[in-house]
Each structure stands twice: as structure tokens, then as C-alpha cells.
Amino acid sequence: MGSVAKIMLIDDDDISNFITERKLRNSGVADKIVVYNSGSNALKELGDNLTAGDPWPEIILLDIRMPVMDGFGFLEEFILFPLEHTEKVKIAMLTSSLEKEEVKRSYLYKNVIDFINKPISEDKIRALLEKNL
Amino acid sequence: MQRVRQYHDDRIAGLPAPEFYEYEGLRKDGSRLWLQVRVSKVYEHGVLKGTQTALRDITERKQAEDLLACQNAELKKINSELDRFVYSTSHDLRAPLLSLIGLIDLCKGTDDRLELDSFIHMMEKSAFRLDNTIKEILEYSRNSRMELYYEEVDISNMVAGLLEDIIHHDKAQRVRFTKNIATGIPFVTDRLRLATIMNNLVGNAVKYQRVDEPNPRVDITFSVDEKGGTLTVTDNGEGISANVHEKVFEMFYRNSQNSVGSGLGLYLCKEIVHKMDGEIKLTSESGKGSTFIVKLPNMDFRKSDK
């Protein structure tokens, strides 16, 4: 399985984050995993990274239903960052949603390469990493 | 009458006019009635002899039609709510369940006692969250299904019972509660529904306290007069910014980053208050706490008015 330097996880559900983070660690796909419990906190971090010249995550795992700013709200803001940075980031939706509409809506964004139903498993992580290559 | 006359003349002149004309009028006693007017020409051996005008009282039919339109609008509202319900429950019911599945999977992969303990603790939390959401959905359905049931309610007793329950929650440990409950005038209302409103408002005040506030407090006041009762719940917690004051009452809307709820609580309060012919108001500023005011009619005095 390939691996990346940094994966960012955005989800408001703490327990779900615990599970996802643990699975990511167990599968050893990333040197670093950063977790944010809201889209706005994650956006702020990405902005700060740019200012400080720190590298961005290669992969973002993004929940859809979150209070205040949902996953699509995050995507709308994310694509406003400079293209030279955003084009390198692959995003996978990570959700309990079974809605076909949301799958379609997600793939309208160029960065979105996967739609993963919770809970994440090592197989699903492997499949995602293969898509990233 | 002008338009009825016009209709009559149009029919006689053979101008395009519908077969019937329906209009709303007043009876001598001032009550309203609906009439149907039908004008037709009368021929004898092919020769026009005159006109015949028939009037029919169609008030009952009109009332039935109005009722049907009302019921139809109500059904449409229920239908669109049901759509959102199915959509949201697919998330709110599945999220904790999927966490459980994920945690069970993690349990299988370890023998470490401490790790297992922490997984079990999280499984417990997920199960409680699931149960809580189901309870709220049941309360919602109970409110829309069950008839209102009025009885005299001992508010002091109700508040005391509520505080006793709530004090056991982890988050309530830091909170100082004050209560100011008016006594003297009896208050008659739907006890279960009022308790649901109180639970939700006080529960929210506790849940959304500010972590950086050294003295979190929740004040509960209840005043009553002949016309109605007023419940006020004030806190110095997170607060709600003005642009979402209407939204917080919407179904499944969650405003707080720290939200652990299903987004049904305040929606349920609004629906109950609406059903009980009362009103619910919110004054709040982000970061400065919230005040919810609920006014409900005092049913006892209403009855004796009549």
C-alpha cells in the first residue's frame, strides 16, 4: 500500500474521529494525521499552513453533515484557495449518508475522488490510496 | 350583487358565462352563506318565453371544501416534513450505529484491557446517543398525535423534579441554578408537553454553557396570571447569533460546533407551543448567553370566561 505524508480528517463526531484515526494509524498510510471537528477550523489551519509555508495534506477525509458548515460548505470555501495548492489535494467524503444525490453532488468537485461510507476499514483505506496514485 | 346582476345579463344575452355563479353573502342575522346562482332561458315550442333564476344554498359544501383545502395543506406539510425526516434520520440514527460497528471491529483487534475499556465506554456513549435520538423522535410524534390534556400543574414541583434529574449530568456539576416560581394563581395546562419544553430549554442551557465562563448559571422563572403562564430560561452560555434566531427552531438544525443533540429539541418546543396556542421567543447574542421566553394560555380562566 502506498503512503502519504499528511492526511487531514474533518468531522464533528468525536467517536467517529477516534475510530477513523485509529484505522488510519493501524494501516500505516500516513506519517501524520490531523483532525478538525469543523470545516471552519480546518480552513483556518489550511490558511495558516500557506502563510507559514507548511505543507498541505495530500488527502482530506471530509464528513458531510456537520453543524454550522457542512461538507459542501467546506468544499465551496476550499476551492477558493489558489489552484496551484488545491489541485494537489485529493478529497474523500466520509459519511453515514446513503443518499445518491450527495454522491453525485460530491463528484461535481474535481478534488473529490472517493465517497466512503462509515465506518472506514483498512480495505477502504487501501482502495482510496490506490485511487490517489 | 353587482356581479350577480352582470352574470344574469350575460347569460340572457348569450355572452360567454359559466353555467353557475357562486358567491358569498350575508344572512339577515349577519352570518355568512354561500349561494349558487343558475340562470337559464325558458322556451315554449321553440319560442323564448323568459328566464328562470335558481338560487341554491351551498354553504355546507363550501365549508367542506375549505376543510378539505386545509387538510390538504396540512398533509403537504406533513409529507415534506416526512421527506426531511427520512433524510435526516438516515444520518442521525445511523451515525451512532456505525460508530458502534466501527468500535466492535476495533475491539476484535485488541487484547489490551485498558484499550478495551475505552472502546466500551465509547460504545456506551454511542448507544445512549442513539437511544436519545429515538426518544426525541417519539416525543415529536406523540406531540402531533396525542390530544391536548389539561390539568392543574404544580410548577414548583415540576421544576424541582427537572432539576433533580438534570443535576446528575456531568455538565450540570459546574452550573448554578436559580429559580423564581410564582405561586398563588393556579395554572392549567398540558403537563407532559410543558415538561418537555422545560426539559429541552433547561437541558440546552446546561449543554451549551461556555467552557471559559467561571460561573455558569441557569435562571428559571415562571409567572402566572389569569390569562397565561410565562416560562423564562436564561443562561450565560454560548449564545446564538442574531442571524440564526429563526433557524434554531427548524427541524434538525444544529447551531453549535459543540452540538451533541439531534437538532430536534427546539423544533419540538416550537411545535408544542404552536399546538398549545402559545408563543416562544428568543433573545440572545453570540458569546453572551440566551433567554428563551415561552407564553402559554392558562386554560382554567379561559373556560370560566365563556
Interface with A, mutate which of B94, B133, B252 (most A CBs under 10 A): B94
A133 touches chain B (CB under 8 A): no
Gap between the Cα atoms of B264 and B254, Å rounded: 8
Query: In terms of C-beta density within 10 A (0-12 exposed, 13-18 middle, 19 or more buried), how is residue B297 classed?
Result: middle
pLDDT at B301: 57
pLDDT band at A109 (very low <50, low <70, confident <90, very high): very high
Q: Which residues contact B131 (CB under 8 A, 6 or more apart)?
A: none
Alpha helices by DSSP H, A33-121: 39-52, 71-78, 83-86, 100-107
Distance of alpha carbon B264 from alpha carbon B258, whole angstroms: 15
Question: pLDDT class for B303, splitting at 50, 70, 90?
Answer: low
At a CB cut-off of 8 Å and minimum separation 6, what does B39 contact?
Answer: B7, B8, B11, B12, B21, B51, B52, B53, B54
pLDDT at B174 over 50: yes
From chain B, the residues in CB contact with A121 under 8 A are 105
Min distance A84 CA to chain B CA atoms (Å): 31
The pLDDT of B63-79, averaged and rounded, is: 91
Q: How confident is the model at residue A1 (pLDDT cuts 50, 70, 90)?
A: low
Peptide bond into A119 cis (omega under 30): yes
C-alpha cell at A54: 507548511
The torsion defined by the Cα of B96, B102, B103 and B106, in degrees rounded to 10, comes to -170
Give B 227-256 residues with CB within 8 A of chain A: 254-256
> Are A22 and B106 a contacting pair at CB < 8 A?
yes
Give per-residue pLDDT as tens, A122-133: 999 999 998 876
The residue to which cell 453570540 is assigned: B286
CA angle (B189 as vertex; B188, B192 as ends), nearest 5: 135
Mean of pLDDT values over B241-258: 83
Residue B54 exposed, middle or buried by CB count within 10 Å (0-12, 13-18, 19+): exposed
ipTM of the complex: 0.89
Give the number of other Cβ atoms within 10 Å of residue B188's Cβ: 19
Among B57-61, B64-68, B125-129, B135-139, whose mean pLDDT is lowest? B135-139
C-alpha–C-alpha distance, residues B186 and B301, integer Å: 9
Position B259 scores a pLDDT of 66
Q: How far apart are CA A106 and CA A118, in angstroms?
A: 16
Residue B5, number of CB atoms within 10 A of its CB: 9
Which of B136, B155, B139 is closest to B221 using CA atoms? B155
Domains plus CATH for chain A? 31-52+59-132 (3.40.50.2300)
Q: Between residues 80 and 119 of chain A, which touch chain B (CB distance below 8 Å)?
A: 95-99, 117-119
Q: Which of A53-67, B17-31, B206-220 is predicted with the least confidence, judged by mean pLDDT? A: B17-31
Facing residue for A97 by CB, picked from B90, B102, B105? B90
- For the ranges A43-47, B253-257, B294-298, which has the lowest average pLDDT? B253-257
CB B196 within 8 A of CB B143: yes
Q: Which helix (H) or strand (E) holds A132?
A: helix A122-132
Note the pLDDT of residue B93. 85
pLDDT, mean over chain B: 88
**Which residues from A are below 8 Å from B105, CB to CB?**
119, 121
The pTM assigned to this predicted structure is: 0.71
Residue, of B78 and B269, whose pLDDT is higher: B269
* CA B164 to mean position of chain CA atoms: 27
- The pLDDT mean for chain A works out to 93
pLDDT at residue number A50? 94
B163 — pLDDT class (breaks 50, 70, 90): very high
Residues A67 and B252: beta-carbon distance below 8 Å: no
Q: How confident is the model at residue B306 (pLDDT cuts 50, 70, 90)?
A: very low
More confident of the two residues B23 and B269: B269
Q: Is the pLDDT of residue A56 over 70?
A: yes
Q: Which of B28-32, B50-54, B125-129, B202-206 has the highest mean pLDDT?
A: B202-206
Does B247 or B92 have the greater pLDDT score?
Answer: B247
Whether the predicted pLDDT of B199 surpasses 60? yes
CA dihedral B73, B79, B80, B86 (to 10 degrees): 160
**Stretch among B18-27, B110-119, B188-197 having the lowest mean pLDDT:** B18-27
Confidence grade of residue B305 (pLDDT, cut at 50, 70, 90) = very low
Contacts of B257 in chain A (CB under 8 A): 12, 37-38, 67-68
**Among B22-26, B173-177, B184-188, which stretch is predicted with the lowest mean pLDDT?**
B22-26
Angle, vertex CA B287, rays to CA B285 and CA B291, nearest 5: 45
Cell of A48: 495558516
In this predicted structure, what is the pLDDT of residue B302?
52
Closest residue in chain A to residue B253, using alpha carbons only: A67
Question: What CATH number labels B150-305?
Answer: 3.30.565.10
Identify which has the larger pLDDT, B201 or B146: B201
Q: Is A38 on the interface with B (CB under 8 A)?
A: yes
